[in-house]
A and B are shown apart, each in its own frame.
Chain A
Amino acid sequence: MTEYRDYLDFMYSVLDVHNKGGLVLSETTELVADIGLSSLEVMEFVEKIEDRFDISIPLNILPDVYTLGDFARKLDELDA
């Protein structure tokens, strides 16, 4: 079963492309405020995670997601 850590590691690998400012990614990095993803880029990011882990991520969980840690935790709960 996929764990919190697996989601987080995959997110780091995907976000490296967007991370032009050389920000050190961590659980507390915010997708929009820190990395500066647009709403469209957030959806593309979501699709990559869905494809990688063969899951569907309900839009309902996104309003509560700010940091990478928030997101990984939500995904861990989904799968629980």
Chain B
Amino acid sequence: MLFEKFEYMAQFQAELDAQDVVPFGAVTEKILSATEAVVNGRKVILAGTNNYLGLSFDPRCISAAQEAAGKWGTGTTGSRLANGTFFEHQALESELAAFHGVNHAIIFTTGFAATMGMCATLVGPGEVLLLDADSHASIYAGAQLSGAEIIRFKHNDPEDLAKRLRRLGERASQTLIVAEGIYSMLGDTAPLQEIAAVKREYGGLLFVDEAHSMGVLGTHGRGAAEAAGIESEVDFIAGTFSKSLGATGGYCVSRHPELETIRYCIRSYIFTASSSPMMVASTRKALQILQSEPGLRHQLWDNAKRLHSGLQSLGLPIGPSPSPVIAVALEDRTQAINCWNALMEAGVYVNLVVPPASPSTNFLLRNSVSAAHSSAQIDVIIATYAGLVDAGLIGAKQGG
């Protein structure tokens, strides 16, 4: 029977139902601002979104989307290759290329389609995809579609990467190395300087997914590659509109003119409707704001540091350095569910992450910070965690 393989998931959902919690698929009934909503009948602080710069509710982005809907309609009803390329799409591609200081850009309908499509297309049978073990599901999905040989290197471990390139010998030149700027689950940053040095020594092309680092890292907000000073050594940079830019969509930019040919080979670009003009227009506006208002990035980091130091002083098991993503690692599933539930009841909506989405056997309470959070909201989040510690739901001794 086809359905038998879903039994384990049915059991997990039944267990959650029995405890009266709905971490996956909680329904947001009303959005009050970039940082507040009514979820399951309760007013909550949004502490799990990827709205890093808080632009989802920027009035300029909203009116750009409204104007675009009036001017271009609600959807393109066509693929980029068949009547779905509007002026807005081309304009955004030029603006993204200029932002990254390169000449070529492709935009996609979602971020998943961007990374999946690029990984699936850049390499093929007989070639090699060398990816960080903790890569996003879209990268793994693209890898499987590519037909290339897929090899993992240990997470954020340039020495392991070097070892694997060495083992490949001459095939190193037929290899695409894939890393992310900030990893979405634990909020840790890739050692891109070291990775670029390894690439320099052994060859291959380097692809960096800046989904969680664009708008967040680098003096100009171009991401982890900018922060590491190695942009000129990255062959392809991918990003998303659904995090710092507050909309939906994805992109890939490159200094290689071949990207213009590759465009016509990417199935997740060709065989899907192009982004709605509203999305593209609000993203264009958000990209302008990201560049003209670096204060948003500073505010984001102030908030990230405030939350990190607050949770650290409670002795909670979190990562060593501040990041806009701060994950509390728990080993026990019931405890994780109870904590998520208690946070929700207290009005703080974080993400519960369970294996295999988490990179180990841990269960994560994933908090993410926005520039739009006020200091008072950050303090409420910290105080709510303190309440969990006082109630004995979570303690300094947990995890490591």
Which residues of A are at the interface with B, using a C-beta cutoff of 8 A? 38-40, 43, 47, 54-60
Which listed residue, A38, A39, A56, A60, touches B164 by the CB 8 Å rule? Answer: A56
C-beta contact mask, B363-381 vs A, less than 8 Å → 1, else 0? 0000000000000000000
> Among B25-33, B69-77, B237-245, B353-361, which stretch is in contact with chain A?
B353-361
List chain B residues, Cβ under 8 A from A55: 167
Nearest-CB residue, chain B, relative to A47: B154
Main secondary structure of the interface of B (DSSP, over half): mixed
B263 touches A (CB below 8 Å):
no
> Among B15-23, B144-152, B327-335, which stretch is in contact with chain A?
B144-152
6 A-B residue pairs with Cβ-Cβ distance under 8 Å, sorted by A, are: A40-B361, A43-B133, A43-B152, A54-B163, A57-B151, A59-B143
Which listed residue, A43, A54, A58, touches B151 by the CB 8 Å rule? Answer: A58
Nearest-CB residue, chain B, relative to A55: B167
List chain A residues, Cβ under 8 A from B149: 58, 60
Q: How far is the CA of A22 from the CA of B164 in the complex (A)?
A: 35
Q: Is the CB of A56 within 8 A of B361?
A: no
Q: Is the CB of A39 within 8 A of B167?
A: no
CB within 8 Å for A56 and B150 given contacts A39-B356, A40-B355, A40-B361: no
Using a CB-CB cutoff of 8 Å, which residues 304-346 of chain B contact chain A? none
Q: Is the CB of A60 within 8 A of B133?
A: no
List chain B residues, Cβ under 8 A from A57: 151
Q: Count contacts on B: residues with CB < 8 A to the other chain.
A: 15
B168 touches A (CB below 8 Å):
yes
Q: Is the CB of A59 within 8 A of B152?
A: yes
List chain B residues, Cβ under 8 A from A56: 151, 164, 167-168
Which residues of B are at the interface with A, using a C-beta cutoff of 8 A? 133, 143, 149-152, 154, 163-164, 167-168, 355-356, 360-361
List chain B residues, Cβ under 8 A from A43: 133, 152
Q: How many whole Å from B236's CB to the nearest CB in chain A? A: 21
Q: Determine which residue in B133, B152, B154 has the highest number of CB atoms from chain A within 10 A of its CB, and name it.
A: B152
Q: How far is the CA of A72 from the CA of B151 in the complex (A)?
A: 18
Q: How many whole Å from B8's CB to the nearest CB in chain A? A: 12
Q: How many whole Å from A53's CB to the nearest CB in chain B? A: 10
Q: How far is the CA of A39 from the CA of B8 in the complex (A)?
A: 14
Nearest-CB residue, chain A, relative to B168: A56
List chain B residues, Cβ under 8 A from A40: 355-356, 360-361
CB within 8 Å for A59 and B154 given contacts A40-B355, A40-B360, A43-B133: no
List chain A residues, Cβ under 8 A from B355: 40
Nearest-CB residue, chain A, relative to B147: A60
CB within 8 Å for A58 and B168 given contacts A38-B361, A40-B361, A43-B133: no
Q: How far is the CA of A54 from the CA of B166 in the complex (A)?
A: 10
Q: How many whole Å from A6's CB to the nearest CB in chain B? A: 18
Nearest-CB residue, chain B, relative to A57: B151
Which listed residue, B150, B168, B361, touches A60 by the CB 8 Å rule? Answer: B150
Which listed residue, A38, A54, A59, A60, touches B167 by the CB 8 Å rule? Answer: A54
List chain B residues, Cβ under 8 A from A47: 154
What 3 A-B pairs come out closest when comparing CB atoms?
A: A59-B150, A58-B149, A56-B151
List chain A residues, Cβ under 8 A from B167: 54-56
Beyond A40-B360, A56-B164, list 12 extra A-B contacts (CB 8 Å).
A38-B361, A39-B356, A47-B154, A54-B163, A55-B167, A56-B167, A56-B168, A57-B151, A58-B149, A58-B151, A59-B143, A59-B152
Which listed residue, B150, B154, B356, B361, touches A58 by the CB 8 Å rule? Answer: B150
Nearest-CB residue, chain A, relative to B356: A39
Q: How far is the CA of A77 from the CA of B269 in the complex (A)?
A: 37
Q: How far is the CA of A57 from the CA of B130 in the complex (A)?
A: 11
Q: Determine which residue in A39, A56, A57, A58 has the highest number of CB atoms from chain B within 10 A of its CB, and name it.
A: A56
Q: How many whole Å from A24's CB to the nearest CB in chain B? A: 27
Q: How many whole Å from B219's CB to the nearest CB in chain A? A: 37
List chain B residues, Cβ under 8 A from A38: 361
List chain A residues, Cβ under 8 A from B143: 59
